[in-house]
Amino acid sequence: MAGVTFFHYIHKDSILHKMDGRLKLLCMLIISIAAGFASQWQHYLAPLCVIIIALAAAKLPVAALLKDMKFFAVIILIVFVADAFNIKGDPIPGFPVDYVSIQGVAAGLRFAGRLILIITACSVMTGTTSLLTFKNVIEWYLRPVPFIPEVRVATMINLTFVLIPVIFDSYTEMRDAQKSRCVQLRKNPVKRVSFIVFPLLEQTLRRADEIVYAMESRCYSELRTRAVFKTKKIDWLILAICLLSFLFVILS
């Protein structure tokens, strides 16, 4: 298997691993919303400090997570370039292209900061929460909502998070296999992309079929015993820290 860490559950003995999944998901949403509302550089410090403390407390491999951030580098680069060229403002002194503005570059950097914070917060959530616990948490939140089959929806979301690491792992394996065959030396970029995209799509669909067959062979049913959650004082303290970070961004 390829060594991709993103969206993988990493078993550790830490406070976040033992934390109530319901409050943990709520903390992730609060930090993500705070990052989305951040507009000034000081606004990014509050969620960034919380995420850094969470990574240290969860004992997650920070270097591996930062390395896997390259999967989102293309999206960040595209939006950054689009903002830099499309948002009008003062031109950058000495820059050869007049269409690039200081305001556009600042907007692109703000977007990149928000996206990195949100992705890292999600990686902390998935890295410290097993898929079964994540499914039970989603089901618990959806249970009071009328006319929504909470078990079915929770299972669908859970299967989505099952396939995301599979896609990343498959992509890394195929990329390494193509490099060993010197496919990157081909001049046609369409050919290089097609050698990865189509096998990756085929393998992902085949993996999805295997999951469906495995569930059917085990007589999967929505009638299951409900999970029991336990909340500790430290869990409420972590939630309070996340709320303070959110209030700092909103009120300042």
Please state the domain extents for the chain.
15-251
Task: Kindly give the confidence (pLDDT) of every residue in the chain, 252 residues in length, as a single tens digit, with 9 standing for 90 and above.
Answer: 445 566 788 888 899 999 999 999 999 999 999 999 988 888 899 999 999 999 999 988 888 888 778 778 888 888 888 888 888 878 777 777 777 888 888 888 888 889 889 999 998 998 999 988 999 999 999 999 988 888 889 988 888 888 887 787 788 888 888 778 777 666 777 777 777 888 888 888 888 888 889 888 988 887 777 888 999 999 999 999 999 999 999 987
Cα–Cα dist 46/141, whole Å: 27
3-state secondary structure labels for all residues of 95-132 = CCCCCCEHHHHHHHHHHHHHHHHHHHHHHHHHHHCCHH
Whether 252 contacts 43, CB under 8 Å:
yes
For the whole model, what pTM was predicted? 0.80
Say which amino acid occupies 59: K
For residue 92, give the DSSP letter. Answer: P
Say which amino acid occupies 138: I
